[in-house]
Amino acid sequence: MAQYINNDEMMRVASFYEPLRQRNLLFEQEFGRKPRAVVETHGCQQNENDSERLRGMLAEAGYDFSDDINDADVVVFNTCAVRENAEDKIFGRIGILKHIKEHKPHMLIALCGCMVQQQHIAEKIRTVHPQVDLVFGPHALYRFPELLEKAYKSRKTLLSVDDSDGAIAEDMPVMREDAHKAWVSVMYGCNNFCTYCVVPYVRGRERSRKPECIISEIEELARDGVGEITLLGQNVNSYGKDLEEDIDFADLIRRVNDIEGIERIRFMTSHPKDFGDRLIDAMAECDKVCPQLHLPFQSGSDKVLADMNRRYTRAEYLEKLNKAKARIPNLALTTDIIVGFPTETQADFEDTVSLLEEAEFDMIFSFIYSRRVGTPAAKMESVLSDEQIHKNFERMLSVQNEISRRKNEAYVGRVCRVLVDGESKTDSKMLTSRTDTGKIVNFAGDKSLAGKYIDVKITKAQTWSLYGELV
Ligand code: SAH
Ligand code: SF4
């Protein structure tokens, strides 16, 4: 049974808002404005979800917000550890902050999230980047007001990186990015220990939120006008295994499907080893569950899958995928793939390409393997050269681009119901929206349509997006 942070502890943490507000009032008297906070999110949807809580807590403490670190009085980097390039980017950002802080000594710098949960990184920051005032891991997220207040008083970098399994904190303040769509975590952590992956080490063991907490959060969202929710977990198919109540993820989405005001339900991520008929049935039978499935296969070779500790074979994967395709009309498929896992040979890579051709995904998220300290794969020797791995990666993308374009072209002429996100970032005359299958559709329209569900006729297809017109 997952550990919950109790009420007394939440109250203790909340008692730190008052001194923070006092501190911020003094700031306002001195500078004629409220202090400004920047929260920069790196990595996955779980981090985006956590950042909305960080902003909620900062708002509660009396901060204003900005997007520009040059304007900031407090900067929080919510970091990612999944691949090395994410970490390099954050060290680059810390270097920039060092220069800004030289001219702005009162600026407070905080780092949180998965990257700093790794002891060797926390240690590096403390010794090499003393300009960072506060470092805290994912398990300490709910303690942010307390840590922030303490960091203001501390002369040294304050570290809060415990290696517990993590507990669940409910009812943190939240400031949501989007008025019409929201992330909802159903569980935290991971028990799978794929040999390349750092997530189980930094996010702790699997813990499911109680269904009543999830349902009441979604009911509140629906009352606030949020129609689309994405249920989040590292492996949503493990949902409920650690709860007293007899419930699994398929049961949960059926309950969410009954909530009035919710129009669309998405979820990620499903682990293929646990994905099965119960979830396929629930997806097919629940009208609000979008026909969209993200099912990472990682590699098309059975040998590499075994070395990755994925616990399914290529044939099992394809069988499940085909069952889902047969049962759910118009199902859009996405996946994650790693190229250059240490034991991957050229023949193994060819198996990945052939799986791509066989499965026909709408879109893939592909990554070059990155060695992560402390994971079993980090000790394995690489078979292929970096040059070959990069060549393979490029080839895989071109194979997939062709498939993505073909799948998108099949939409031309269809009328699709879309949720309008708002103005396109690249062309202010266009609106951007999404189909229930997760496809981006750009079309000309008035920005007052933002947040509405409308019908659009698809007129043109590209590899990454569709174009359409209002009907
Ligand atoms: N829990 C999810 C996703 C976790 S991380 C799942 O199991 O699917 C998201 C993706 O990052 C993974 O699916 C994998 O493709 C990729 N990834 C994880 N560790 C990696 C590493 N060390 N190198 C390259 N890609 C990695
Ligand atoms: Fe990482 Fe595997 Fe867990 Fe996904 S299931 S988070 S890839 S260990």
State pLDDT tens for residues 385-411. Answer: 999 999 999 999 999 999 999 999 999
Residue 298's φ and ψ, nearest 5 degrees, are 70, -45
Pocket lining: 310 vs ligand 1, CB cutoff 6 Å? no
Given pLDDT bands bounded at 50, 70 and 90, which one contains residue 166? confident
Q: What's the average model confidence in pLDDT over 18-42?
A: 97
Task: Point out the ligand nearest to the CA of residue 189.
Answer: 2
Residues, the chain: 471
In DSSP notation, 306-331 reads HHTT----HHHHHHHHHHHHHHSTT-
Residue with tokens 């400004």: 36
Does residue 423 line the site of ligand 1, with CB under 6 A?
no
- Cα(6) to ligand 2 centroid in Å equals 28
| Any domain includes 464 | yes
Query: Tens digits of per-residue pLDDT, 113-139?
Result: 999 999 999 999 999 999 999 999 999
The ligand 2 atom nearest the CA atom of 191? 3
Q: Strand order in 332-339's β-sheet?
A: 292-294, 332-339, 363-368
Q: Mean pLDDT throughout 10-26?
A: 97
269 Cα: distance to centroid of ligand 2 (angstroms): 9
Measured distance CA(92)–CA(84) in Å, rounded? 12
Of 162-166, 171-175, 429-433, minimum mean pLDDT range: 162-166
pLDDT, tens digit (0-9, with 9 covering 90-100), for 55-100 = 999 999 999 999 999 999 999 999 999 999 999 999 999 999 999 9
Q: What is the phi-psi region of residue 3: left when phi exceeds 0, alpha when psi lies from -120 to 50, beta otherwise?
A: beta
Domain that holds residue 282: 181-409
Q: What are phi and psi of 273, to 5 degrees?
A: -65, -30
**CA-CA distance, 115 to 119, in Å (whole number)?**
9
Position 185, amino acid: S
* Per-residue DSSP letter, 4: B
Q: What percent of the chain has pLDDT over 70?
A: 100
Res 164: pLDDT: 80
Q: Is the pLDDT of residue 329 over 80?
A: yes
* Atom 1 of ligand 2, residue of closest alpha carbon: 197
Let me know the angle formed at the C-alpha of 291 by 288 and 297, rounded to the nearest 5 degrees: 135
The tens digit of pLDDT for each residue in 268-286 reads: 999 999 999 999 999 999 9
DSSP 263-309: -EEEEE---TTT--HHHHHHHHH-TTB-SEEE---B-S-HHHHHHTT
Give the pTM: 0.96
- Number of helices and strands in the chain (H, E): 14, 19
Side-chain-side CA neighbours of residue 83 (13 Å): 14
**C-alpha closest to that of 270 among 290, 247, 306, 297:** 297
Closest C-alpha among 141, 193, 198 to residue 166: 141
404 and 419 in a single domain? The answer is: no
- 167 in a domain, yes or no? no
In a domain, 367, yes or no: yes
pLDDT, average across residues 211-234: 97
Shared domain for 378 and 258, answered yes or no, is yes
**Predicted local distance difference test score (pLDDT) of residue 3:** 86
Q: Cα-atom radius of gyration of the chain, to the nearest Å?
A: 23
In a domain, residue 145? The reply is yes
Residue 332 lies in a domain: yes
In this structure, the answer to whether residues 186 and 211 fall within a common structural domain is: yes
Mutate to test the pocket of ligand 1, among 42, 188, 196, 197 (most ligand atoms within 8 A of CB): 197
Residues 199 and 134 in one domain: no
My answer on whether 311 and 355 are in the same domain is yes
Task: Give the list of residues 6+ apart from residue 30 with CB closer than 8 angstroms, or none.
Answer: none
Nearest CA to 393 out of 339, 334, 346, 337 is that of 339
Specify the pLDDT at position 48: 96
Q: What is the C-alpha separation between 113 and 138, in angstroms, rounded?
A: 5
pLDDT over 90 (residue 295): yes
Q: Over 90: is that where the pLDDT of 50 sits?
A: yes
Residues 152 and 248 in one domain: no
Using a pLDDT cut of 90, give the percent of the chain over it. 95
Q: Would 2 be classed as within a structural domain? A: no
pLDDT of 2 strictly over 80: no
- Kindly give the residue spans of alpha helices, DSSP state H, lying in 363-435: 386-409
Q: Which of 230, 140, 222 is nearest to 186 (CA)?
A: 230
E strand spans, 354-444: 363-368, 415-423, 430-435, 440-444
Same domain, 137 and 212: no
Tally of structural domains, the chain: 3
Residue 416 vs residues 153, 287, 419, 471: alpha-carbon distances, Å: 56, 16, 10, 10
Residues 378 and 425 in one domain: no
**pLDDT computed for residue 202 by the predictor:** 95
Indicate the average pLDDT of the chain. 96
Q: Are residues 379 and 358 in the same domain?
A: yes
Q: Using a 6 Å cutoff on CB, does residue 292 contact ligand 1? A: no
Q: Do 53 and 145 belong together in one domain?
A: yes
151/159 Cα distance (integer angstroms): 9
In CATH, what number is assigned to the domain containing residue 104? Answer: 3.40.50.280
What is the C-alpha separation between 417 and 58, in angstroms, rounded? 37
Ligand 1 centroid from CA 366, angstroms: 9
Judged against a pLDDT cut of 90, whether residue 318 lies above it is answered with: yes
**Residue 427 pLDDT class (50, 70, 90 cuts):** confident
Segment 354-381 mean pLDDT: 97
- Provide the pLDDT for residue 100: 95
Assigned domain for 170 exists: no
At 97 the pLDDT is 95
Angular region, 463: left φ>0, alpha ψ -120 to 50, beta rest: alpha
Q: Residue 163: which pLDDT band, with cuts at 50, 70 and 90?
A: confident
